[in-house]
Each structure stands twice: as C-alpha cells, then as structure tokens.
Structure 1
Amino acid sequence: MEVFGYVLFLFTMFVFWTNVQGAVSYTNCTKLTSCSCLTDTGLVVDLSPLTDSSGKAKFSDVKAKSGDDFSWNPCKDFTEKAGTATCTNVAACQIQLSTPPLLFGLGNQNSASFNINGKKNLQVSYSSKSDPKFTRTAIVELVCDESQEGTLTAEGESPPTSGKYYMTLTSKYACAKSQEPSNSSNGLTVGSILLIIVLVLVIVYVVVGVSINKYGRHATGKEVVPNYTFWTALPGLIKDGVLFAFSGCKNGSGTTYDNI
C-alpha cells in the first residue's frame, strides 16, 4: 500500500500540471485564421464564438476615452454607416463624432496579425492604408477571463496622431485552450477524464487501505489511515525540499556540499 501511495501522489501532481497548462504563459502565437492562433505551447486561442455573421459588428460603437467610437467584429468583415459616411468590409471601424460624423476603416480580416505585447498579453492587429501617407491600425488586446463571455473597452488613439487605436477584449475565448474535435464539444476533456481517474483511485486507495489496516492489522485510531506516517511527513518534506532549492542547495549549516 505504501508504494501505491507514492504512485498516487505522483499521478495527482501530473494531473494538476496537465490541468494548469492553459494558464502557462506563451511567447508566440502563430496565425491560423483571422481570429485564431496556435501558441508555442500547443494551445489555441479562438475568437470565432464571438463572431457576428449578420454583416454587422459584434461590438458596435464602443465609446473610447479619446472621445471617438469604435466597432469591431472577429473573423468576418462588416459594414457600418453613419450619415453619408461608411466603413465597408472592415474588421474594425473608427467613428469620429463630428458633424457630419466621419468613419475610417481600420483594416480588414486579411490584415489580421497576432503578437505578444509588453504586458505579456496576446493582441490581434489590423491595418489599413487608405491614405498613402497615413496608416491606421486597430490593436485589440486579448485578456483571458473565464468568467466573461466577451466585453470590449476602447482606449482610442495613443499617442495622438499616431494612427494606432487600442481596444481591450476581456473574454473566456481569449484563453489558450487545447484543441478539441468539433464533434466532441459536449464530451469530457482529457483533463476531466484524468481528474475522474484520480478521484476513483483516491476512493479505492482509502477504502482498501482502511479495510486492510482495520480488519487485517487490527489497527485503531489514526493508524487505520493508509500510510499515515508518509502523508503526515509529506508537508514537511515538501517544505524542506523547497527551502533547500531556494537556499542554493546548501545544507543546514549554511555551507554547500562538496563537488563530486
């Protein structure tokens, strides 16, 4: 039973590591489509569930701190009109609230590119060079939040006259996730299956271990807990290991071990 306890602990740590991989940072995301990319950790960021396919923007006329409004639609271009002005077949649109209003396209889906910004967040950018001397670029920072369906805020142009217009999407679809087959969206993920296996093994381990100790070895009290000594010593061993690693692998006297 003691060997089984060691194996169970190591397997539990493996499952924990497997399930937190989506939270691990990545340094690159290669474009797959105009609204999805593949990270260098093998996970995918896919904004397609946020797409409006009606020809309109999913996020429309979002007020920016700079005073302008911005519209954006992942995956598919849209068209927006205001008076006689129009943004035609664009991924993002700037609306200057003048009289009459002025609309400027900020690039279409074909211009989409992905990169990591200075805050270590993924961002998708679109560019338009309608004026030969001036390029307009929409930059949407993607913030992972599993509790949010999708919320867009706009900061506007920064710095002024730069032609760079910033927005921020906070959404669960901005999170990097493992690729799932399209016909298994309602099935269990690999992480869920591993967690179920761990739960079953823990139950079997406890029930069998208690039964052996109580009825086979006639143990009483805390001694009926399988591998009681190992589990009570484990927190201290982990603590000692962490302190040893962070102390530069020095022993208790403060000196390093001799080289082999």
Structure 2
Amino acid sequence: MVSAIKMALSVMQTSSIILLFVCILLKGCKSQIQCAQTGRCTCTFNDQQKTEVNFGVIGLRNGKPKFDFDSYGQQGAFVYAFNPCYPFSAGSCKDVVSCQTEASGTTYWDLGNPDPVSWETKSDGTIQVTYTATKEEEERKSVVNYVCDTTAINEPTFAVTSESPLKTYNMEVKTCAACSPAVQGCPTKVPPAPSSGLTGGGIVCIIFTVLVVVYITGGILFQVFAKGATGKEIIPNVNFWSDFPGLVKDGFLFMISPCRRGGYSEM
C-alpha cells in the first residue's frame, strides 16, 4: 500500500514537472514572436534586427481604397473595399478603412474606422489588426491578418476569407511588409501625401492676379464712362505706366553703378 502511494506521488510529481516545462516552453515560444504596436500602422518585432513594420507603405492617401470594390474570393451579392491605415470615402461610408456594398452599389456598410485599432501577433508571426465601426448601436468589424509573403514586394494581395461570427469580416493581406526579418527590396518608407490644397505662395499669386484684373477692368470702365476717354487714355494711370519702364531701368542702373561719395561743398 505504501509502495503504491509512493508510486502515485512520483507519477504526480513527474506529471507536474512535465506540465510546468510545457507551460514555460509555450510561453517562451509565444514571447519569441511578437510585434509591439508603436502607432496606428506600425509595430516593432522583437527579433535581433528589431524589424520595424509600417503598413502605411501599402495604403493610399488620396482618399481612394488600395483594394477597390470587388468580391475578393467571396461568392454573393456583396463586394468589399479596403485601404490599410488611411481613410477613404465611398457612398455612405465616410472616412473608413473598410467598406461593404451591394454589387449594385446602392447601400453601403462601414466595416471599420482607422481608429481605434487592436493588434495581436499570432504564433506564426501573422499580425492581426482589428478595425471597428459602430453606427446606430450596430457594430461591425474587419479582422485583417497581415501575412508575411516574401514574394509580394511590388504589390500585396487581398482576400475576404469569411464572415464569422456575424458582422465580423475576416480578411487577409499578403505582403512583404509583414515579414520578420525585413525582406530586401520591400518598401519601408511611406511616400509623401499628395498635395491637397494651395500653398501660401499660390494664394498670394491668386490675390495679386485678382487685384490686377479688378484694377485694369475697373480703371478702363471709369475712364470710358466717367471721363469719356478714348484711345490709350482709357488705360488707368497711363502716364505712370508709360514712364514705368524708364523708372525700372534707372533703378537698375543705380543699383549696379558704383556709389559716388562727394565731399562737403565749400561755403
């Protein structure tokens, strides 16, 4: 009896040690593959190279989706659009990263906003990013798995894999941007955003042009109808503009000629 108890205790002790070892091993394996989120579109792997991931190299910043409306492997009456990181608008989907619509394009559903997002690194190194949209207390999600593909250097691929559970849309992007360590030739820098407005210089030029047009047009109308001028006299301030080229010439010659310094005149 005592021998049996000792054997049982020995088995339990051995099992506990094995279980503890397995737990430590699994925890260690999990900690070996992690990409810590550093921004909306960025994370850093804990590999030796500290590989930085930036999905901004995939998305477009011109208000259009990188992956425009298509079925992307799904059979049915709906098509999808997705743009990593940056918002786009289509139909009733405003400033979203993921959108669903009927094939006819009459009704749209927001499947995910740029913020907030949640990140998770799977055991195989796949980076899973979840985008959430809430409209009228109805929540929809796009769960996007960014999978490392060393061959997808020039163009990533996109697929909608399933809707499971309901209103949760599982998607997959294969790209070299998700690889650890970094793939040679894979883009790492986000291209500059297209200009979306006028610069300060452009605004000044427009104002100046408008003022010149108003000055000439208004001056001519005043000279003709108020003063009854004809010929070149209809030009406003015609004498000044006639002398203007000579004044410019004199000013230019003054600037390039050496300065003359004269003494005091004798009284």
Question: TM-score normalised to the size of structure 2?
Answer: 0.50
Residue 109 of structure 1, CA deviation: 1.3
Letter of the 2:60 counterpart = D
Q: What's the counterpart of residue 52 of structure 2?
A: 44
Distance 2:69 2:31 in 1: 32
Residue 93 of structure 1, CA deviation: 0.8
Q: What's the counterpart of residue 214 of structure 2?
A: none
Question: Unaligned 5+ residue runs, structure 1?
Answer: 1-23, 179-183, 186-260
Asked if 2 retains the 8 angstrom alpha-carbon contact of 1:66 and 1:157, the reply is no
Q: What's the counterpart of residue 93 of structure 1?
A: 99
Letter of the 2:170 counterpart = Y
Residue 26 of structure 1, CA deviation: 4.6
Q: What's the counterpart of residue 62 of structure 2?
A: 54
Residue 121 of structure 1, CA deviation: 2.0
Q: What's the counterpart of residue 119 of structure 2?
A: 114
Give 2:177's match in structure 1, choosing from 173, 178, 198: 173
Residue 39 of structure 1, CA deviation: 2.3
Alignment of 1:26-175 (within 5 A): 26-41=32-47, 42-63=50-71, 64-67=73-76, 68-81=78-91, 86-97=92-103, 101-117=106-122, 121-132=126-137, 134-148=138-152, 149-159=155-165, 162-175=166-179
Distance 1:109 1:79, change over 3 A: same
Distance 1:117 1:69 in 2: 28
Distance 1:80 1:156 in 2: 22
Asked if 2 retains the 8 angstrom alpha-carbon contact of 1:139 and 1:165, the reply is yes
Question: Unaligned 5+ residue runs, structure 2?
Answer: 1-29, 183-187, 190-267
Residue 62 of structure 1, CA deviation: 3.0
Distance 2:106 2:41 in 1: 29
Residues 8-41 of structure 1 show CA distances to partners (whole Å, capped at 9, x for unaligned) of xxxxxxxxxxxxxxxx995432222222212233
- Structure scoring higher RCO (CA < 8 A, sep ≥ 6) equals 1
Asked if 2 retains the 8 angstrom alpha-carbon contact of 1:59 and 1:73, the reply is yes
Q: 4+ runs of 1 displaced by more than 3 Å?
A: 24-27, 117-120
Asked if 2 retains the 8 angstrom alpha-carbon contact of 1:76 and 1:91, the reply is yes
Q: Percent identity?
A: 26
* Higher Rg: 2
Distance 1:100 1:168, change over 3 A: closer
Counterpart secondary structure, 1:109: coil
Distance 2:164 2:181 in 1: 31
Letter of the 2:54 counterpart = D
Counterpart secondary structure, 1:129: strand
Question: TM-score normalised to the size of structure 1?
Answer: 0.51
Q: What's the counterpart of residue 224 of structure 1?
A: none
Distance 1:166 1:108 in 2: 15
